[in-house]
């Protein structure tokens, strides 16, 4: 039998755990798995691009467990009352190949994206950071605010989105977060005085949402918008001024901000900072950029956490046949009748 987690199951799990507590635990799982980075099989995700979006598969394994996620990104979906991003994932036992868990990952991806952002900022941002600019108030915005509050102690969110309704939605949802919320009229207004800038837009194409002239020394940039070839959010001059960090560089060079840079543009992978191989922030004046395009190990961590948290209360489905004789798959199909009876 295989564990199944649907949308309502995920909703109940997060509510019973507490959203901030879940985000904190998820960040710990991600940190743990990034700390053992060399143990994992790693590859850029397999992407199928179309005019309106992308569908991707994101696999990885640590030799004991295997996971993959199916995820789409279609920026125009909200125009027809559909989500921009939907996802599901599988966690499997490498020894026998059996799936242990199949889970919704639309909600879980939103949580893991925010947990990864806040975890990276806990490594790269100034420890005294208390003000975050949020450029983009879409589906990811509230998750980012909660994660940064839980892991960094962010106290003020300055939010901008050209879609006024999206900002209204964010302000209403975040009203109970216990943070100071500031609605801003422009991007420049939002980033003014911010210690951390989270850029989370879903538009396709090369767009300079922020540039280096907007930044003050010591700023940490969390660039997480929906990524794909040909899509960028940061002006190229930020790459020339900031220290640049990635998850898995071969994937980021295809989909991230460094599409704008030369192939030998110097980058540091986050796991290298954790391992002490390379420096992270070296001074309070550094401008640091975490260009998160999302990577399979983060989904692996999220599925592990869900599987662990639900131990003893798992809902199981018969995804794989259970046979007395593993060689008699046909008998499983036709039931107890013999082949002769069927004939």
Q: Active-site residue numbers?
A: 227
Least confident of 112-116, 231-235, 284-288, 325-329: 231-235
Each residue of 143-169: pLDDT tens digit? 999 999 999 999 999 999 999 999 999
Go through the domains of the chain in sequence order and give each one's CATH number: 2-107+297-334 (3.30.1780.10), 126-294 (3.40.50.720)
Query: Averaged over 64-74, what is the pLDDT?
Result: 96
- pLDDT number for residue 256: 86
User: How far is the C-alpha of 90 from the C-alpha of 1, rounded, in Å?
Assistant: 14
Interior angle at CA 286, CA 231 and CA 209, nearest 5: 25
**What average pLDDT does the structure give for the chain?**
93
The answer to pTM > 0.75 is yes
Please state the φ and ψ torsions of residue 255, each to the nearest 5 degrees. Answer: -120, -15
> Among 160, 146, 74, 119, which residue's Cα sits nearest to residue 295?
119
């Amino acid at each position: 039998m295989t564990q199944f987690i649907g949308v309502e199951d995920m909703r109940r799990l997060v509510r019973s755990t507490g959203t901030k507590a879940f985000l904190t635990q998820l960040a710990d799982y991600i940190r743990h798995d990034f700390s053992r980075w060399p143990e994992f099989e790693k590859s850029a995700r397999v992407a199928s691009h179309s005019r309106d979006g992308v569908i991707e598969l994101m696999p990885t394994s640590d030799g004991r467990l295997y996971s993959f996620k199916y995820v789409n990104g279609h920026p125009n979906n909200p125009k027809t009352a559909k989500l921009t991003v939907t996802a599901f994932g599988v966690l499997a036992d490498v020894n026998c190949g059996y799936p242990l868990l199949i889970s919704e990952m639309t909600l879980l991806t939103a949580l893991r994206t925010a947990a990864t952002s806040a975890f990276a900022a806990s490594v790269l941002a100034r420890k005294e950071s208390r003000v975050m600019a949020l450029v983009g108030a879409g589906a990811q915005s509230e998750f980012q605010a909660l994660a940064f509050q839980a892991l960094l102690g962010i106290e003020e969110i300055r939010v901008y989105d050209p879609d006024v309704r999206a900002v209204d939605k964010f302000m209403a949802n975040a009203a109970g977060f216990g943070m100071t919320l500031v609605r801003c009229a422009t991007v420049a207004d939002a980033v003014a005085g911010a210690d951390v800038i989270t850029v989370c837009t879903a538009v396709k194409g090369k767009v300079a949402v922020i540039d280096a002239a907007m930044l003050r020394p010591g700023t940490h940039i969390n660039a997480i918008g929906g990524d794909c070839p040909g899509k960028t959010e940061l002006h190229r001059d930020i790459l020339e001024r900031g220290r640049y960090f990635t998850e898995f560089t071969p994937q980021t060079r295809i989909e991230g901000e460094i599409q704008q840079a030369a192939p030998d543009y110097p980058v540091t992978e986050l796991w290298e900072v954790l391992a002490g191989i390379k420096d992270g922030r070296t001074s309070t004046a550094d401008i640091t950029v975490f260009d998160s395009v999302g990577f399979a190990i983060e989904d692996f961590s999220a599925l592990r956490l869900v599987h662990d948290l639900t131990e003893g209360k798992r809902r199981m489905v018969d995804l794989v046949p259970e046979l007395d004789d593993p060689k008699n798959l046909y008998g499983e199909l036709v039931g107890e009748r013999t082949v002769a009876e069927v004939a």
